[in-house]
C-alpha cells in the first residue's frame, strides 16, 4: 500500500513538473523556489509599470511564486537596469527593458553604467507601443501633409513637446524634421505628463506621444491624432493612418517592452521564464487589457529578442547622432 502511494505521489510530481514551465532545474534545485523581483526602471503609473504589473500578476499564478514589482526610476532608466545587471544570474532578479534602457541610452549617455549586449540575457519581448502624432485642435491642420505645408509656411516653424531629450518621443520628432524638411523647435519636459499639459493648453503645437498616454485625450477630442508611428494601424485608432500611409515613407518609431535577466543566467531558467511569460501574454484577460491601452503584441523569444535589440541599438544610434542629443 505504501509503495502504491509513493509511486502515485511521484507520478503527480512528474506531471506537475511537465505542466508548469517554471519548474525548470537550476543549480540542482527546482526553479523557482522563492519569490522573483521584477525591477521596473520607470515611475509607477507609466506604460512600463502597467505592463509589468499585468504580466507580473499572471506570472505569480503560473510560477506559483510571488513576482514583486520594484520601481526604480532615474537616469533614463539606467539606475534600475544597472541594479539588475549587477545582480546574481539566478533568474530571481529581472528587469523590464524598454527602448530607452536597452537601445537609445547606449548612444545618448556619454557614460553608461552597464553594457546592454554584454550584461544582460534577453528573455522575452512582450509588446510594442507606437507613438502617435497629436496636435492641439486649434492648429489648422487635419492630416500630416497639411501639417508639413503649414510648418514650412509659418515663420519660425512650430514647437514640439517631448518627455525629455533623447526619449523616443523626442527622437520621433527629430526623425520627422529630418525626413520632411520642416523646421520645429524642441521643447523638452521632465516626463510626458507635463508635456501633455502644455499641449492641451495650446502652449506648444504638437507632440509624438506614446499612444496609451495620449489615447484618452484623443478620444475626448482634446487632441487631434494625425498618424501613428508603427508600421500598421492601431486597433484602438483604426481611422488614424500610419506615418507611411500619411506620406512619410520609411518612418517607423516607438517604444517596446520586454523582460531581461542578468548575463549568464542558466539557459534552462531563461527558457522556463520565456515559456511562462508567453503563456501569460496569451491569457485573454491580459491580451484585452493591453490592447485596450494601446499596446500591440510583439512577442519574441530569447534569440529573436537579442537580435532585435542589436538592430534597435544601431538604428537609434544613427537617430541620436543626427539629433545631436546627449546626456552626461
DSSP annotation of 102: I
Per the CB < 8 A criterion, the answer to whether 161 and 189 are in contact is yes
pLDDT (tens digit per residue) in 47-77: 899 999 999 999 999 999 999 999 999 898 9
- Residue 220, C-alpha cell as written in the block: 475626448
How open is the CA angle 44-70-72, to the nearest 5 degrees? 65
Fold of 2-129+255-323: D-Maltodextrin-Binding Protein; domain 2 (3.40.190)
Please state which CATH number belongs to domain 130-228: 3.40.190.10
Q: From residue 297, how far is each of 33, 227, 290 by CA, in Å? A: 30, 19, 9
- What is the Cα–Cα distance from 153 to 146, expressed in whole angstroms? 11
- For each successive 10 residues of the chain (328 residues), what is the average pLDDT? 44 42 50 97 89 97 97 93 98 97 96 97 96 96 97 93 89 93 92 91 96 94 97 94 96 94 98 98 96 92 98 93 85
Whether 2-129+255-323 shares its CATH topology with 130-228 is answered: yes
Relative to beta strand 29-31, strand 24-26 is antiparallel
Domain boundaries, the chain: 2-129+255-323, 130-228
Per the CB < 8 A criterion, the answer to whether 261 and 121 are in contact is yes
- What is the Cα–Cα distance from 43 to 53, expressed in whole angstroms? 12
Q: What is residue 151's predicted lDDT score, i.e. its pLDDT?
A: 95
Say if pTM beats, i.e. exceeds, 0.75.
Answer: yes
- Residue 180, C-alpha cell as written in the block: 520632411
Q: What is residue 28's predicted lDDT score, i.e. its pLDDT?
A: 53
- What is the Cα–Cα distance from 178 to 326, expressed in whole angstroms? 18
DSSP annotation of 182: -
CA dihedral defined by 163, 202, 177, 230, rounded to 10 degrees? Answer: 60
Q: What is residue 125's predicted lDDT score, i.e. its pLDDT?
A: 98
> In sequence order, what DSSP letters do the residues of 36-86 get, joined into one string?
EEEEE-S-TTSHHHHHHHHHHHHHHHHHTS-EEEEE---GGGHHHHHHHHT
Q: What is residue 37's predicted lDDT score, i.e. its pLDDT?
A: 98
Q: What is residue 327's predicted lDDT score, i.e. its pLDDT?
A: 86
Per the CB < 8 A criterion, the answer to whether 288 and 266 are in contact is no
User: Taking Cα atoms as reference points, which of 36, 27, 96 lies closest to residue 60?
Assistant: 36
- What is the Cα–Cα distance from 50 to 65, expressed in whole angstroms? 20
- What is the Cα–Cα distance from 286 to 58, expressed in whole angstroms? 8
Amino acid at each position: 500500500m505504501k509503495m502504491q502511494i509513493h509511486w502515485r505521489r511521484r507520478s503527480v510530481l512528474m506531471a506537475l513538473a511537465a505542466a508548469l514551465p517554471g519548474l525548470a532545474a537550476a543549480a540542482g534545485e527546482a526553479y523557482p523556489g522563492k519569490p522573483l523581483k521584477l525591477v521596473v526602471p520607470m515611475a509607477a503609473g507609466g506604460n512600463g509599470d502597467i505592463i509589468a504589473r499585468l504580466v507580473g500578476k499572471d506570472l505569480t499564478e503560473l510560477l506559483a511564486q510571488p513576482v514583486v514589482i520594484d520601481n526604480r526610476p532615474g537616469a533614463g532608466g539606467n539606475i534600475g537596469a544597472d541594479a539588475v545587471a549587477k545582480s546574481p544570474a539566478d533568474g530571481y532578479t529581472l528587469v523590464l527593458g524598454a527602448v530607452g534602457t536597452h537601445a537609445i541610452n547606449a548612444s545618448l549617455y556619454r557614460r553608461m553604467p552597464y553594457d546592454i549586449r554584454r550584461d544582460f540575457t534577453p528573455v522575452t519581448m512582450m509588446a510594442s507601443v507606437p507613438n502617435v502624432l497629436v496636435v492641439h485642435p486649434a492648429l489648422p491642420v487635419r492630416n500630416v501633409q497639411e501639417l508639413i505645408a503649414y510648418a514650412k509656411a509659418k515663420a519660425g516653424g512650430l514647437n514640439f513637446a517631448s518627455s525629455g531629450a533623447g526619449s523616443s518621443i523626442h527622437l520621433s520628432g527629430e526623425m520627422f524634421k529630418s525626413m520632411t524638411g520642416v523646421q520645429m523647435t524642441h521643447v523638452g519636459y521632465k516626463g510626458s505628463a507635463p508635456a501633455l499639459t502644455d499641449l492641451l493648453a495650446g502652449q506648444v503645437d504638437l507632440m509624438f506621444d506614446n499612444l496609451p498616454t495620449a489615447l484618452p485625450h484623443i478620444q475626448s477630442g482634446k487632441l487631434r491624432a494625425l498618424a501613428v508611428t508603427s508600421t500598421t494601424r492601431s486597433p484602438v485608432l483604426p481611422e488614424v493612418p500610419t506615418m507611411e500611409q500619411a506620406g512619410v515613407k520609411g518612418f517607423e518609431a516607438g517604444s517596446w517592452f520586454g523582460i531581461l535577466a542578468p548575463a549568464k543566467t542558466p539557459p534552462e531558467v531563461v527558457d522556463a521564464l520565456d515559456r511562462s511569460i508567453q503563456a501569460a501574454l496569451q491569457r485573454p484577460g491580459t491580451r484585452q487589457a493591453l490592447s485596450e491601452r494601446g499596446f500591440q503584441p510583439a512577442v519574441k523569444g530569447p534569440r529573436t529578442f537579442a537580435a532585435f535589440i542589436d538592430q534597435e541599438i544601431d538604428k537609434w544610434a544613427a537617430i541620436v547622432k543626427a539629433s545631436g542629443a546627449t546626456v552626461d
